Amino acid sequence: MKQSRYAFTMIELVFVIVVLGILAAIAVPKFAATRTDAQIAKGRSDISAVRSAIVNERQSRLIKGDTSWINSLSSSATTLFDGNGTAATDVKLLMYGIPSGTTDGHWSTTSANYPYVNYRYKVGGKNCDFSYTSSDGKFKLNASQDSICDKLVN
């Protein structure tokens, strides 16, 4: 009577493990790079949205005869870019503010001296500091600390 073989040999199993190890060694670094690229894309999108909202608010004010820029971009340290929060002239800069956080891919404030607040976006373990100037409406990257920060604005 002939017996059929349904099992793998040890050599076949070792070969499969080696192939899976090679694939994992290639995939893991690519995944980490993809995550940083996604955080950069999110940061660029946030910066564009904030800058666009600043200009939009300025145009609304000009139509009303007010030549001033918005005083501040945030009303609290927990929700950023939601407007200046003053009762008489409360402005919703972004429809939905951005929740703050201190991990990669999140915004935070570096000072709580409202309305003069500096902002920090963390990406790839690096802190990228931004500031808003209410005299000219500029939301810009402070002196670049790292090339990864330059990718946010270039």
pLDDT digits (tens, 9 = 90+) for 42-97: 999 999 999 999 999 899 889 999 998 888 787 777 788 876 555 445 567 888 88
Residues 100 and 109: beta-carbon distance below 8 Å: yes
Separation CA 152–CA 46 (nearest Å): 10
Confirm if 145 and 129 have CB atoms less than 8 A apart.
yes
Q: Where are the alpha helices (DSSP H) in 5-97?
A: 10-63
For residues 74 and 85, the answer to whether their CB atoms sit within 8 Å is yes
Is the Cβ–Cβ distance between 52 and 139 less than 8 Å? no
Please state whether beta strands 118-123 and 79-80 pair in parallel, antiparallel, or not at all (unpaired).
unpaired
**Where do the structural domains in the chain lie, given as residue ranges?**
10-153
Predicted structure pTM score: 0.75
